[in-house]
Amino acid sequence: MKHFLVKTLANAAALAVAIWLLKNITLTGDNTGRKVLTLIVVALIFGLVNFIVKPVVKLLALPLFILTLGLITLVINALMLLLTSWLADKFHLAFHVQGFWTAVLGGVIISVVSWALHMILPDQD
């Protein structure tokens, strides 16, 4: 359970950094508490998308991984971020990613920040 909590908080922090750095990734809300709650729910959705959908997409894209020497990962990360944005909209959450290239850059930022946070934060259950 602790591992799940740490991963969710790391995802939330990584999403917050991407929102802060990129003007086309937005998180709106009435007050700070509402924004934090929305960010945590979006981080949960993002975690579920990465846990359920991403492995299937990676398996189906295996030939492209070989062909592009792994660079297709950038596109897959962008697609997972766009899927998270779409799901957030379906749940009426105020999180939106505008455009594919913004999603690519956001995916890179989220990957780097998540990696750094997972190096710092404990991950043992």
The predicted-structure confidence for 31-87, as pLDDT tens digits, reads as follows 999 999 999 999 999 999 999 999 999 999 999 999 999 899 999 999 999 999 999
What pTM, to 2 d.p., does this model score? 0.89
CA separation, residue 68 to residues 53, 61, 65, 109 (Å)? 21, 10, 5, 21
Tokens matching residue 98: 């505008």
* pLDDT band at residue 8 under the 50/70/90 scheme: confident
User: With contact defined as beta carbons under 8 Å apart, do 121 and 11 qualify?
Assistant: no
Average pLDDT over residues 109-121: 89
